[in-house]
Structure 1
Amino acid sequence: MLTLKALSALLTYPSRELVRAIPAIREAIAVAGALDGYAMAALEPLLASLSREDLYDLEERYVLLFDRTRAHSLNLFEHVHGESRDRGQAMVDLQALYEGAGFSIDAAELPDYLPLFLEYASTLPEAEARALLAEPAHVFEALRERLARKESPYAAVFAALVALAAQAPEASSFEALAEIEETDPNDLEALDRVWEEEEVRFGPGAATAECGVDSLAAKVRQARRPAPGLETPAMMGPRTVFTHSSATDRA
């Protein structure tokens, strides 16, 4: 789904390449036709901001919003597993899912970094992509709500992801999301306190024999139980890179 590739780009760290690609991203979303007029209009403030505002201001805002506040983290399992040791195994399973499809991560990001996840989903047939999005849809909705309270234009990206999911998140799925304190990104003491967590291990030897979409779905669904590019590289931010072992273009 080309729309997912465009949304992935919008969630990457602002860069000059991303700014230059905004007209192409806007056109791709419109041509793909996966979003209705309301969702497309909701994205326009973010598109306009990225194309017109000073790059340094965009970078600072992004860091304060996503990198210094766990409540808005772009790492999916931060919201699903929090400090649970299940997080490490879920990370291994997700990386195995990518590798099983012939992809490897060539970036300094964890496998659950949302732009990476969306980049992978964009290569799937539409029905599979929508089904995959449905599993963390409750996380997308929680992020949409938190960002909307801050009047952030990024909230529209998460609203679009919820709209693209095969089914809306169930109300009960929100109750077991990891409790994450919303902190002032300028309050360094609060940030230190919130980011303190147990060591999470993942890597060789930690994986189980079971992997794939069903396994990933099971990992994401753990949050519901009461336990504890475009074809142009410019659309992809510098922090999100996939390499494919096959010569076939799956996008």
Structure 2
Amino acid sequence: MRKHDTMSHATTLRAIARLLCYPDDGLMRQVPQVAEALVLDGTLSSSTRRALMALVADLVQRDWLEVEALYVDTFDRGRRTSLHLFEHVHGDSRDRGPAMIDLQQTYAGSGLYLADGELPDFLPVVLEFASTQPADTQREFLGEMAHILNALHSALVERESPYAAAVAAVLELAGEPVQAVKLEPEAPLDDSWQEPEAFGGCNSAGQQAPGQPQTIHIVRSNAQQTGAAA
């Protein structure tokens, strides 16, 4: 059995989780320790370590406000690059709620509970949980999400984001190959967050200018029309 199969990657998973969190002042101070943790995991391939170090270097060389803007533009503008994993499979459907509850119960079963405001499908939270588990459980748990991680990775690669390296590293730790996923065209941000019309059948046809009398059309129902015909 290979060393990779039996070794826990707790520190590495926590380091990747930290890189994928919002880049506050605390993260920027911790970047050297995060980089050291990633380098010390000898089971990561050399190409994966180089890509992770390139991500770290990219964050360090940028202005702090620029790093914040990069993070928001990457992960908070559209579903394809969302770090909330169930966005990729459930979107806003009713299925997302039960899936979130199931995942939260998985955490609770290990004695771990989320802080207020944390969602169980947020990738850094998923990685933090995995870091507390034995090696075989880590791999199995993350492997179950490989199809979502590959979709996220493909979207990040498409955008030429350095953050793709972090997701590729998670797939490697899960023992899963990085596979390109065909992505559906994404609706513009304004369209994807647009509120549905309150009354889909209403339109502005025939309306007058504000403050002017409006035309009202009264139409009989089918039942009334049938009765009148009789």
For normalisation by structure 1, the TM-score amounts to: 0.69
How far did residue 25 of structure 1 move? 0.8
Identify the residue that residue 119 of structure 1 maps to in structure 2. Answer: 128
Unpaired runs of at least 5, structure 1 = 184-189, 199-251
Identify the residue that residue 53 of structure 1 maps to in structure 2. Answer: 62
8 Å contact from structure 2 (residues 168, 178) kept in 1: no
- Match status 1:19 vs 2:28: yes
- Match status 1:157 vs 2:166: yes
Specify the code of the residue in structure 2 equivalent to 1:141: N
How far did residue 193 of structure 1 move? 2.1
* Aligned mates of 2:98, 2:195 — CA distance in 1: 16
- Match status 1:195 vs 2:193: yes
Alignment of 1:116-155 (within 5 A): 116-155=125-164
* Aligned mates of 2:95, 2:64 — CA distance in 1: 38
Identify the residue that residue 65 of structure 1 maps to in structure 2. Answer: 74
How many residue pairs match? The answer is 187
- Match status 1:35 vs 2:39: no
Residue 88 of structure 2 aligns to a residue in which SS? helix
How far did residue 77 of structure 1 move? 0.5
8 Å contact from structure 1 (residues 5, 122) kept in 2: yes
Residue 77 of structure 1 aligns to a residue in which SS? helix
Q: Deviations over 1:145-164 (max 9, x none)?
A: 21112111001011111111
2:118 paired residue among 106, 109, 116: 109
Q: Summarize the Cα distance change of 1:63–1:100 in structure 2 as closer, same or farther, 3 Å threshold.
A: same
Identify the residue that residue 186 of structure 2 maps to in structure 1. Answer: 182
* Aligned mates of 2:60, 2:148 — CA distance in 1: 27
* Aligned mates of 1:121, 1:180 — CA distance in 2: 30
* Aligned mates of 1:15, 1:60 — CA distance in 2: 11
Unpaired runs of at least 5, structure 2 = 1-9, 197-230
Specify the code of the residue in structure 2 equivalent to 1:108: G
Specify the code of the residue in structure 2 equivalent to 1:79: H
* Aligned mates of 1:30, 1:48 — CA distance in 2: 13
Specify the code of the residue in structure 2 equivalent to 1:38: S
Root-mean-square deviation (CA, aligned residues, Å) is 2.2
More contact order relative to length (CA 8 Å, sep ≥ 6):
1
Q: Deviations over 1:74-122 (max 9, x none)?
A: 0010112223321110000111111121111114231101100110001
Residue 99 of structure 2 aligns to a residue in which SS? helix
Specify the code of the residue in structure 2 equivalent to 1:4: L
Identify the range of structure 1 (43-52 vs 71-80) with the bigger mean alpha-carbon deviation: 43-52
Residue 175 of structure 2 aligns to a residue in which SS? coil
How far did residue 192 of structure 1 move? 3.4
Identify the range of structure 1 (98-107 vs 113-122) with the bigger mean alpha-carbon deviation: 98-107
Computing the radius of gyration from Cα coordinates, the structure with the larger value is 2
* Aligned mates of 2:106, 2:168 — CA distance in 1: 25
How far did residue 180 of structure 1 move? 6.2
* Aligned mates of 2:151, 2:107 — CA distance in 1: 25
Identify the residue that residue 84 of structure 1 maps to in structure 2. Answer: 93
